[in-house]
Homo-oligomer: A and B are copies of this chain.
């Protein structure tokens, strides 16, 4: 383990490895080579081996990887056993969708609070014994429920102030869906998901032709 010099894309891929391995284990595949595994994901075998090599040696030379063992190791690496308390700020369509998305809680991200400042929404009951609460109470609630991750799904104009509020509340990580780059203290980890930007990027590639190589598989 080469501690602390792990490429970000490697982490993203590990999350994908994890999902693929789950399927393999369920399908009863007990062993797989880096080549076969890579083909399934549309990447190179060397990439698979290099990604794993940052964290240790998980395979058997001449054989391949034991799927269950590897799944376990990757769960460990990604800290998937840990549960993370999250809160969602901005219960518009996207916030609602996230609050109802089972994939997140399945991955260990548990919503502990949902905030909005629209009085008509406050008090609205939501799944998992939650209800929408006032943003005014955010600081207090985040602290008392040990929320570590804040999800920002407010309009762009309110994103920075929401981020500031979350920071003051002592949050450690932010997932920001608002199409704006946030100014944050450097100790706060920040992940941006800009849906419009992805669409635009797609449109550009469609117009000018992709520079990427085609996926075979």
Contacts and interface: CB of A to CB of B under 8 A. Distances in A.
Contacts of A19: 156, 179-180
B196 A15 contact: yes
B196 A107 contact: yes
B84 A94 contact: no
A181 B84 contact: no
A191 B203 CA distance: 10
Interface stretch (A59-67, A112-120, A128-136, A207-215): A207-215
Interface of A: prevailing SS: mixed
Q: Count the copies.
A: 2
A114 to B, nearest CB: 14
B82 A203 contact: yes
Contacts of A18: 200
A94 B211 CA distance: 29
Contacts of A42: 181, 183
Given A79-B207, A148-B206, A101 B93 contact: yes
Given A172-B206, A180-B19, A215 B186 contact: yes
A170 interface: no
Contact of A197 (B15, B108, B156): B15
A15 to B, nearest CB: 4
B206 A103 contact: no
Contact of A11 (B181, B184, B204): B204
5 contacts: A15-B200, A16-B181, A82-B203, A93-B96, A107-B200
